[in-house]
Amino acid sequence: MIIRAKAPLRIGLAGGGTDVSPYCDNYGGCILNACINMYAYATIEPRNDGKIEFCCEDRNANKIFDSVDKLEINNEFSLLKGVYNRIVKDFVKKPLSFTLTTYVDAPAGSGLGSSSTLVVAILKAFQEWLNLPLGEYDLANLAWSIEREDLKMAGGRQDQYAAAFGGFNFMEFKGDKVLVNPLRIKKEYLNELEFNILLYYTGTSRLSAEIIESQVKNATNKNKVAIDAMHNLKKSAYDMKEALLTGQVDRMGILLNEGWENKKKMSSSISNSVIDNIYNTATNAGATGGKISGAGGGGFFMFYCPHNARYKVIPSLQELGGEFRRFRFTNIGAESWTVN
């Protein structure tokens, strides 16, 4: 028997960073994101030799452990161990023996929520194998708890919920409460967005935790510039939701540009000279706006190129050494299946 699961990665459109405590605890946060057809995959193959094997195929890493109630958390396979430990603790109450193989379509630190999406995919595979009673909210909240509480990893809440639900979602955060509002966007608007949005990988990854910790520090210390920027980012999520639902798709470029200017005020680590050069090159070639997807510092850039501007933006950015990734939006969240 083979159990498989996959969960979609996401691009953040507006409101990024307002889902991180303490800002969302004090003021409430809002995020607008969309899932795309790039995925995190997890495969479980049960075994009966008292061993646990982890195989991370995208990182060419694997290791075998003895099957125990709780695996030691260190600097290797932390996400996989964290999921296993919670599954044993919360559900099965005994050691399990299996091989877990994972793969993610985007590099770690790329800004598409790959780490959180992988946790959701692994949990979904365990849910399929063990018939666990987990709905979308349960799945996302458990993934968040494993990362933020068990593993003490800095970050927000949007990635886990995007991976669990799929689609375009307007999310509201207030303390521990999360409300996911799926958006029904007309097909012609989605087609235009897919044509006009370019996803550009800068070729560099970043440690999002360090950038998020800087944002948290600014929010905790009530840094006025950073707090005001987060207020503006939250407002942009409402503005972009209205634009997408009413078909004002070309307004996205303007809102992305406003969001990028505000995002850079949240932390000095979000941009640098290389990123600024990429952004200026794209806008000089015809893009009306863009932003780093995720915390910042590197990873994937998203640019809005209205009309036929993509045909000038693409060759301009190719000269800088990055690469473009084709994508489609997907309405399907985490899913699993069994192969007998």
240-289 residue pLDDT tens: 999 999 999 999 999 999 999 998 888 777 788 888 999 999 999 999 99
Catalytic position from the list 25, 49, 66, 159: 159
pTM of the model: 0.93
- pLDDT of 224 higher than 80: yes
Interval 5-64: pLDDT, tens: 999 999 999 998 899 888 999 999 999 999 999 999 999 999 999 999 999 999 999 999
Structural domains in the chain, CATH included, are: 2-183 (3.30.230.10), 187-324 (3.30.70.890)
pLDDT for res 206: 54
pLDDT for res 313: 97
pLDDT for res 207: 53
- pLDDT of 296 higher than 70: no
The burial of 331, by beta-carbon neighbours within 10 Å (0-12 exposed, 13-18 middle, 19 or more buried), is given as middle
DSSP 8-class letter at 326: -
What is the chain's alpha carbon radius of gyration, rounded to the nearest angstrom? Answer: 20
- SS3 label, residue 169: strand
- pLDDT of 95 higher than 60: yes
The burial of 121, by beta-carbon neighbours within 10 Å (0-12 exposed, 13-18 middle, 19 or more buried), is given as buried
Kindly indicate the confidence band of residue 226, based on its pLDDT and cuts at 50, 70 and 90.
confident
- pLDDT of 203 higher than 80: no
On average, the pLDDT of the chain sits at 92
Active site residue 159: yes
- pLDDT of 234 higher than 70: yes
Alpha-carbon torsion (332, 334, 335, 339), positive or negative:
positive
Largest pairwise CA distance in the chain: 60
